[in-house]
Amino acid sequence: MLPETLHIRKTPVTLIHHAANCGHQEPSTSLAALMCCLESGAAKIEIDVIPLGDGSFALLHDPNLEVDTDGKGNATRMKRAEIERLHYTKDGEVTAEKVGFLEGAVDLLLPHPDTKLLQLDLKPFTPLTRGVLKEFVTIIEPVKGRIQVTSVADWAVRALSRFAPDLALGYDPLLYLDKVDDEPRPDTIPPFRVGAYGLLDDHPLSAYQWGPLGDYFAARAGALFAQVPSGCEWFIRAEILKMAFDAGFNWINFLHENGSRVDGWTIDAAKPEQIQLAQFLVEHNIDELTTDTPTRLAANLHSDAIIY
């Protein structure tokens, strides 16, 4: 007899290579890292994309160039010519790998059919206007059927669904609901308030404790669901999903019942408690898990239904 919490999966769980981490040999989100994942046959790879001031799209996670490169300044205010001469850093050391651009990622994906999906996480550090988004879609057109565009910007996800209805989309509610981390959140990134339920949440539903935590999660999930197109995949912090489960609200089931797939992020298989969290989510039918350590995580999950 299987334990009560363990369910037999009807579909496999996919492990997403976060920031194109494939053995941590190359700088995160770089073209070299992407190539490493593609050559390994990774099923799904995630990289970050930031719009620049001239309409170009750089493969960067943070707009502050000092974080990931040997440059200085805000990438969103700069032009391609200023960025393309820069190099990524790794573990504090400058590498020989130059900062990549969206066109380069498209060119690499084309001859690698084993990778079914490249997830482009579009950062809203500059206004994601219709013009910016249309240029983005134009660049990815040669491989659009193998691209998923995700963002914390629900307004951008809605816009993309209107003029690119055949594009796979994903949404992360990070700017509306999140857990309190040990490190302080940047002052410029919402939510700005810790609500009555102990979560970062600026919504009026978090202003006071009007009912059980499970009811609060259910109400917030319903409100958030209305913000993005139906069928959009959801990318939710794994700890938040578990917190909702423990409070009595199954967010995965809620999304499945409403026609959406679910990913839990970001699992670090170097931490035993993270492996346990991943296993719990797998047993409760999570569709995907984002991880920096896909090979190690796959080896530690008690399931044969894994794609990575």
CATH number of the domain bearing residue 36: 3.20.20.190
Going from the C-alpha of 171 to that of each of 84, 127, 257, the distances in angstroms are: 29, 17, 17
**Statement to judge: residues 197 and 281 lie in one domain:** yes
Those residues whose C-beta lies under 8 Å from the C-beta of residue 13, and which sit 6 or more positions away, are: 282, 286, 287, 288, 289, 301, 303, 305, 306, 307
**Statement to judge: residues 293 and 264 lie in one domain:** yes
- Rounded to an integer, the average pLDDT of 178-199 is 94
Q: How far apart are CA 150 and CA 157, in angstroms?
A: 7
Residue 306 lies in a domain: no
Query: For residue 17, which amino acid is it?
Result: H
Residues in the chain: 308
**Statement to judge: residues 295 and 264 lie in one domain:** yes
**Domain span at residue 23?**
14-172
* H/E element, 46: strand 44-51
* Spatial CA neighbour of 230 closest among 210, 255, 250: 255
Those residues whose C-beta lies under 8 Å from the C-beta of residue 93, and which sit 6 or more positions away, are: none
**Statement to judge: residues 115 and 190 lie in one domain:** no
Residue 124 lies in a domain: yes
Residue 152 lies in a domain: yes
**Statement to judge: residues 99 and 32 lie in one domain:** yes
Whether residue 7 has pLDDT greater than 70 = no
**Statement to judge: residues 162 and 247 lie in one domain:** no
Q: What pLDDT score does 1 carry? A: 28
Q: Which residues pair with 45 in a beta bridge?
A: 17, 118
DSSP state of 196: T
- In the chain, the number of structural domains is 2
Those residues whose C-beta lies under 8 Å from the C-beta of residue 177, and which sit 6 or more positions away, are: 191, 199, 200, 201, 203, 220, 224, 240
Q: What pLDDT score does 303 carry? A: 80
**Statement to judge: residues 51 and 94 lie in one domain:** yes
Q: What pLDDT score does 8 carry? A: 60
Whether residue 103 has pLDDT greater than 50 = yes
Alpha helices in 41-91 (DSSP H): 65-68, 80-83
Q: How far apart are CA 260 and CA 250, in angstroms?
A: 14
Residue 305 lies in a domain: no
pLDDT band at 4 (very low <50, low <70, confident <90, very high): very low
Residue 162 lies in a domain: yes
Those residues whose C-beta lies under 8 Å from the C-beta of residue 81, and which sit 6 or more positions away, are: none
Q: What pLDDT score does 9 carry? A: 66
